[in-house]
């Protein structure tokens, strides 16, 4: 949605080098009843979809890699609330939630997970490689950090065409240590490209904690040497994400160049379905669930403000579960792609 212009935020200095052009984090947005309900419904759809995907994986309907987004729903939901028509999104392999946020069909996403012809990539891409030019979603990428250069390229195209669109380029704390990320930072800053680098810091790169893999653990400062400002955001609060998203999109549309948003978030499940997550305690996960769950925060606010009753919220949950159940049934019963599809969409 379009937003009113705001006063430019004050810059703050880095704790590490005193030279970072970081911006002050804006206050969490004040949601209307309609915005709270919309955020609740969208995050719940992602949660229920991922739960069903995990179930189908365990039953053998989904093969290969499968990375679930459970716990991180507020990030894509809040960011989507600041987009306008034509804004692009690109991400890594934990991509189901991003696709649903960009309003791709749950049937199409689930069918791609099960390798059926009704999938978004005709059953050939699987969990990590889905794409929709119509919805401005450019993947789904299995190579760690590779999408960052592509997202920067999307921003270059926007600058070349002189439009007001912004590229939302997502990657994780692990990918933040990849070399091509810094090549992209340099290019984006040099040419003032309209790209928001969104670092989803869920604390663990596979099974390696941030403190064990990164010399600089404050990812909002990662663009300092390229003069890219950053903001640290509570990625478990959809209001904080929306507020940061509005600031960032306005910054980019005004021609100021790139911006980094470090989303401090948390995944409840393992890195992938094959990860038992023994590198962290059950108590740690439960503490995040009980004290910081993004969906529960919205649910509590809706009830406290009497914007919704328990029965109304249960009805929303049932509606969402029905959508997911329909997608799962379609994905299990749809036909597999014809072998001739192996030769289509191939670029040599």
Annotate 53-89 with DSSP letters as a single string: HHHHHHTTSS-S-----TT-HHHHHHHHTT--TT-EE
Q: Is residue 334 part of a domain?
A: no
Q: Does the structure show a pLDDT above 80 at 191?
A: yes
pLDDT, tens digit, 9 for 90 and up, residues 214-244: 998 899 999 999 999 999 999 999 999 999 9
Residue with the larger pLDDT of the pair 18 and 20: 20
Encoded tokens for 28:
């969490």
This prediction has a pTM of 0.91
Helix (H/G/I), strand (E/B), else coil: 204: strand
Model confidence at 342, pLDDT cuts 50, 70, 90, reads confident
CA distance 293 to 266: 9
Q: What is the DSSP string of 20-40?
A: --PBPPPPPP---HHHHHHHH
User: In this structure, is residue 119 part of a structural domain?
Assistant: yes
Residue 2 lies in a domain: no
- CA dihedral (280, 54, 301, 87) in degrees, to 10, reads 100
| Boundaries of domain holding 139 | 33-328
Would you state the structure tokens that stand for residue 156, as one six-digit string? 């270059």
pLDDT (average), residues 167-188:
95
247 vs 5: CA distance, rounded Å: 9
Six-digit token string for 236: 């478990």
Of 205, 231, 233, the closest CA to residue 220 belongs to 231
Position 168 in a domain: yes
State the chain's mean pLDDT as an integer.
Answer: 92
Is the per-residue pLDDT at 9 higher than 60? Answer: no
Whether residue 19 is contained in a domain is answered as no
Asked if 168 and 83 count as a contact pair (C-beta separation under 8 A), the reply is: yes
- What CATH number does the domain containing 64 carry? 3.40.50.970
Q: Is the pLDDT of residue 20 over 80?
A: no
Q: Which among 5, 10, 7 has a CA at the least distance from the CA of 229?
A: 10
Taking the C-alpha atoms of residue 51 and residue 125, their distance in angstroms, rounded to an integer, is: 21
What domain count does the chain have?
1
276 found inside a domain? yes
**Residues contacting 178, CB < 8 A, separation 6+:** 144, 145, 148
**Is residue 23 one of the residues assigned to a domain?**
no
228 within a domain of the structure (yes/no): yes
Cβ 233 vs Cβ 248: under 8 Å: no
201 DSSP assignment: E
């Amino acid at each position: 949605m379009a937003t009113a212009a705001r006063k430019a935020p004050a810059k703050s200095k880095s704790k590490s080098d005193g030279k970072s052009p970081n911006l002050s984090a804006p206050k969490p947005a004040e949601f209307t009843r309609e915005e709270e309900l919309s955020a609740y419904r969208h995050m719940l759809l992602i949660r229920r979809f991922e739960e069903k995907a995990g179930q189908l994986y365990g039953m053998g309907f989904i093969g290969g890699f499968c990375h679930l987004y459970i716990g991180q729903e507020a990030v894509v939901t809040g960011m989507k609330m600041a987009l306008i028509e034509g804004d692009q999104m690109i991400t890594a392999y934990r991509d189901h939630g991003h696709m649903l946020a960009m309003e791709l069909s749950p049937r199409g996403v689930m069918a791609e997970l099960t390798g059926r012809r009704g999938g978004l990539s005709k059953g050939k891409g699987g969990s990590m490689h889905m794409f929709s030019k119509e919805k401005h979603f450019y993947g789904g990428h299995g190579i760690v950090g590779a999408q960052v250069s592509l997202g920067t390229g999307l921003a270059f195209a926007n600058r070349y065409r002189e439009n007001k669109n912004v590229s939302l380029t997502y990657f994780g704390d692990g990918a933040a240590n990849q070399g091509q990320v810094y090549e992209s930072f340099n290019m984006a800053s040099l040419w003032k490209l309209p790209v928001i680098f969104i670092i989803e810091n869920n604390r663990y790169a596979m099974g390696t904690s941030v403190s064990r893999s990164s010399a600089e653990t404050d990812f909002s400062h990662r663009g300092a040497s390229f003069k890219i400002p950053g903001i640290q955001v509570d990625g478990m609060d959809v209001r904080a994400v929306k507020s940061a998203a509005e600031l960032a999109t306005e910054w980019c549309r005004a021609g100021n160049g790139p911006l980094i948003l470090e989303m401090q978030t948390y995944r409840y499940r393992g890195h992938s379905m094959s990860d038992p997550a023994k590198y962290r305690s059950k108590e740690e996960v439960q503490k995040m669930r009980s004290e910081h769950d993004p969906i529960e925060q919205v649910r509590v606010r809706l009830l406290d403000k009497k914007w919704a009753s328990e029965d109304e919220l249960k009805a929303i949950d049932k509606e969402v579960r029905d959508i997911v159940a329909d997608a799962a049934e379609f994905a299990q019963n749809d036909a597999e792609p014809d072998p001739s599809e192996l030769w289509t969409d191939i670029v040599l």
